[in-house]
Structure 1
Amino acid sequence: MTDPLRDPRFFADPYPTYALLRDAAPVRKVPTGSGGHHSYLVTGYEEARQAFTDPRLSKDTARFFAGRPSQRDLHPAVSRNMLATDPPRHGRLRSLVTKAFTTGAVARLRPYIAGLVGELLAAWPEHGPVDLVESVAVPLPVTVICEMLGVPEADRALLRSWSGELFAAGEPGRIDAASHAVGDYMTELVAAKRKSPGESLLDDLVAVRDSQDRLSEDELVSIAVLLLVAGHETTTNFIGNAALALLQHPDSAARLRQDPQSLPGTLDELLRFDSPVGIATFRYSTEELTLGGTVIPAGVPVLIAPGAANRDPARFPDPDRLDLDRSATGHLAFGHGIHRCLGAPLARAEAELALGAILSRFPEARLAVPAEDLKWRHTRLMRGLTALPLLV
């Protein structure tokens, strides 16, 4: 059996593949990569929720790969970040950054985000083509997280480029090189913050490291890298995917224009409909377990697919239909359990303000190319467009 997650048709539209795999079994063994390697893929909703919280599925990739030969050369700040840890270490690291992403903290950022959205949309032409991904979906969350971390403006384009390279599916050399570029940059930025302290989130983490010794230097750099990458990649895809969904469902877009106050309540359905995360980051079984009727042996990779779970008809009837009246609470686009995306409130605020402004300021916006000609990123982790050309 060939790897169904690397077929070019999967990247353009993964949902038929997800449905076939889920209908056959909500948890099943699938080939991954070359060399006869296999993983267990979780596509059912209930099974995915269970897997996200099962302590027998570890995120400690360093432990999994210990002693195994590898041709990869990832920077430790990328390969051993907070996402790749289990309790109690995970809780200790997460607690240091959670306060920056609470609902209250994000509420204080909303005026800044709204102003930035206005600046980005002011650069759109009055008539003619514009790429929503390049002009809004990428720069908005990149700028916000770089501002939070205290990254100098002159360096932000480079960091954005390196971050994108980290998701170059099938090109391990590019990914490894980008990991070192980002990791080395953040190491230097930490050193600069130490010499000339400021008031950013990264400055706060440096202070914790230096005065309270709650972080090792490696942990400090890895948190900085994770916040940078995770702080914008998901949101970029969220904005692009949601905008495309509304363009393809003009009645839904018109409804939101008429009642903009209802937009926040529709974000869950937009996230469910086309999840910005297709398959969550790596886990492995520390012991044999049974999930969804499938026996998973110890010591094998387990891949949880929020994109598939969010289209499971057992949880969301008629799942391939965008329905703004649907209660999509409980979707898994941001994960579930202790590893649930801590930046979810920020992502929601950025998407809400961006989509609301686009809907109100550009009511005639439409696709500049046929939907089937749109290009999608070739990564099974992220579900997102490389470009979204519009006529406004």
Structure 2
Amino acid sequence: MTEHAVPAAEFYTDEFAADPYPAYARLREERPVCPVSSPRFDSYLITRLDDARAALTDPRLSKDLYGPGDHYVRIFGPNSAALNKNMLNADPPEHSRLRRVVSQAFAPRRVEALRPRVAEIVDALLDKIVPHGRAELMGEFAIPLPMMVICDLLGVPETDHEPVLGWTQVIRTSGSSDRSPEADRAAVQQAQLRLRDYLADLVRRKRVNPADDVISALVDACDNDEGLSEAEVVATTFLLLFAGHQTTADFLGNATVALLTNPDQLKLLRARPELLPAAIEELLRFDGPLPVASPRIATEDVEYRGVRIPRGSVVGVVINAANHDPAHFADPDRLDLERGGGSHIGFGHGVHHCLGVSLARMEARIGIGTLLDRLPELRLAVAADELHRLPAASPFRGLLELPVRFTAGTTERS
């Protein structure tokens, strides 16, 4: 690692968590391929859009964190390895085998069939909010919406939604509580183990009593010798459960804040609701929930913009920096719902492009559209700089709480 590496601690500050985009701009301009040092591993951050696209499709940058070098343990520690040996951390052909089975869950027919259920969940959540004139939108709307949708899709019984949500939120909010680091790690480990045991038991129950849901389909793929082991079924279920709600929940929160702090754009969207699909893409570009793509490992020495990345180094593609690249987006730090925004990489790029993109877009369009329709005069209940965000060390960009006010009304839908 070069002596000019940036200490990782510089990216773990409260200031960075509140607004990382000035730091991203400096990196793009001065060090677009930036070495970063930390006690556990060396890494390199890639921040320009052209380089990001190239890196996300570079076969020399492996997603297999379980191969030689024990990279998964180096990066994440051993606690959740049993839950994370899935297609996210695999290269072709292994990735192709796992994704082929899972892709059936997100076939257009299955996703479209969920539309009435998504609308029903959105309205049910807002029915509880509308009469009061104030709400905490993360806990009362943004988090439960995608969690309920993905649980329905997977086949998690409604009676189990509450404990599953509890375990995932302990994992999501790691580092944000008043617990000591040791107590926080212990709480996360316990939540991971309980979730793993629950999912393993649910898989066993689906084998005995299958239904028209994704877990049953995965079990069937396992039992019909399609190359999916029972451990992979459990790990894949965890991936779909967590990825299927975490990023959507954080996106809904980030998008709401972006609109409320850009009143001209909020007014435009209210006046022209037909802009909603394009607005969702621009909001994702503007402040996405996954700032850095999941890590890649250099399997050989590679070079980007004259910077040598040694074999065995961790490479982080900074999606949110690339999505603000002025070489591709005019005035990139301005929210512009009429921008068009189709060239962002908020859903990834290459073979690891988000599998649930259609479902995520549907949830976002119905969620944001109905929220604006049913909560008139929606506004933040605190100053924007007083919002509590996930810690900067989190792999996600999102809010712990989103207090809002609006004009109280009846539970009747407009």
TM-score by length of 2: 0.90
**Deviation of residue 23 (structure 1)?**
1.7
Residue 313 (str. 1) matches residue 317 (str. 2): no
**Aligned equivalent of 1:281:** 294
Contact 2:142–2:249 under 8 Å retained in 1: yes
Query: Structure 1 residues 64, 43: CA separation in 2 closer, same or farther (over 3 Å shift)?
Result: farther
What's the counterpart of residue 56 of structure 1?
Answer: 60
State how 1:36-115 maps to structure 2 within 5 Å. 37-66=41-70, 72-115=77-120
Alignment-mate amino acid for residue 26 of structure 1: P
- Counterparts of residues 1-392 of structure 1 (less than 5 Å): 1-3=6-8, 4-32=10-38, 34=39, 37-66=41-70, 72-167=77-172, 168-169=174-175, 171-378=184-391, 379-392=393-406
The letter for the 2-side match of 1:300 is S
Paired residue type of 1:387: E
Post-superposition shift, 1:233?
0.5
Spell out, residue by residue over 1:163-206, the C-alpha distance to the aligned partner (whole angstroms, 9 max, x if none).
23334257544433332222111111101111222221111111
* Deviates most, 206-215 or 62-71: 62-71
**Aligned equivalents of 2:268, 2:68: Cα separation in 1:** 49
**What percentage of aligned pairs have identical amino acids?**
43
Structure 1: tracts of 5 or more residues without a match? none
Distance in 2 (CA, whole Å) between partners of 1:160 and 1:221 is 17
Deviates more, 1:212-221 or 1:338-347: 212-221
Partner amino acid, structure 2, of 1:371: A
SS of equivalent residue, structure 1 residue 234:
helix
Q: What are the Cα deviations for residues 222-242 of structure 1, in whole angstroms up to 9, with x where unaligned?
A: 111100000000100111111
Q: Distance in 2 between matches of 1:343 and 1:146?
A: 14
CA distance in 1, matches of 2:157, 2:399: 27
- Mapped partners of 2:59, 2:72: distance in 1: 23
Amino acid at match of 2:70: A
Contact map agreement 2:275 2:338 (CA 8 A) in 1: no
Structure-1 separation of matches of 2:45 and 2:188: 23
State the alpha-carbon separation in 2 of the partners of residues 24 and 201 from structure 1: 46
Q: Structure 1 stretch 17-26 or stretch 89-98: which is displaced more?
A: 17-26
The separation in 2 between residues aligned to 1:348 and 1:197, in whole angstroms, is: 29
| Counterpart contact for 1:18–1:43, Cα < 8 Å | yes
Q: Give 2:57's aligned amino acid.
A: T
1:211 to 1:68, Cα distance in 2 relative to 1, 3 A: closer
Contact conserved, 2:275 with 2:337, CA < 8 A, in 1? Answer: no
- 1:135/1:227 CA distance change after superposition, 3 Å: same
Structure 2 SS opposite 1:345 = helix
* Cα distance change of structure 1 residues 243 and 219 upon mapping to structure 2, 3 Å threshold: same
Shift of 1:211: 2.1
Secondary structure class of the residue paired with 2:55: helix
Aligned partners of 1:369 and 1:21: how far apart in 2?
Answer: 31
> 1:295-342: per-residue Cα shift (whole Å, max 9, x none)?
111111001110111111111121110011112112111110000110
Task: Tell whether the 8 Å contact from 1:73 to 1:176 is kept in structure 2 after alignment.
Answer: no
Question: Does the 8 A contact of 1:193 with 1:203 survive in 2?
Answer: yes
SS at match of 1:280: coil
The SS at the match of 1:284 is strand
CA distance in 1, matches of 2:163, 2:277: 32
How far the C-alpha of 1:67 sits from its partner, in A, is 9.1
The CA distance in 2 between the partners of 1:280 and 1:148, in whole Å, is: 25
Between the aligned partners of 1:173 and 1:305, the Cα distance in structure 2 is: 29
Q: Distance in 2 between matches of 1:55 and 1:194?
A: 37
- What is the distance in 2 between the residues matched to 1:80 and 1:130? 38
Give the letter for the 2:290 counterpart. Answer: V
Distance 1:356 1:130 in 2: 17
Shift of 1:214: 2.3
CA distance in 2: counterparts of 1:105 and 1:213, whole angstroms = 21
- Give the letter aligned to residue 156 of structure 1: H
Distance 1:8 1:65, change over 3 A: farther
3-state SS in 2 of match to 1:126? helix
Contact 2:83–2:234 at 8 Å: present in 1 too?
no
Residue 258 of structure 1, CA deviation: 2.0
Give the number of aligned pairs.
Answer: 390
Contact 1:279 1:380 in 2 (8 A): no
- Residues 326-363 of structure 1 deviation map (CA, whole Å, 9 limit, x = unaligned): 12112111110000110111111101101101111112
Tell me the distance in 2 between the aligned counterparts of 1:68 and 1:228.
20
Give the CA RMSD over aligned residues: 1.8
8 A contact 1:134–1:387 mirrored in 2 = yes
Which stretch shows the higher mean deviation, 95-104 or 277-286?
95-104
SS of 2:34's partner is strand
Q: Provide closer, same or farther for how the CA distance between residues 64 and 331 of structure 1 changes in structure 2, counting only shifts above 3 A.
A: farther
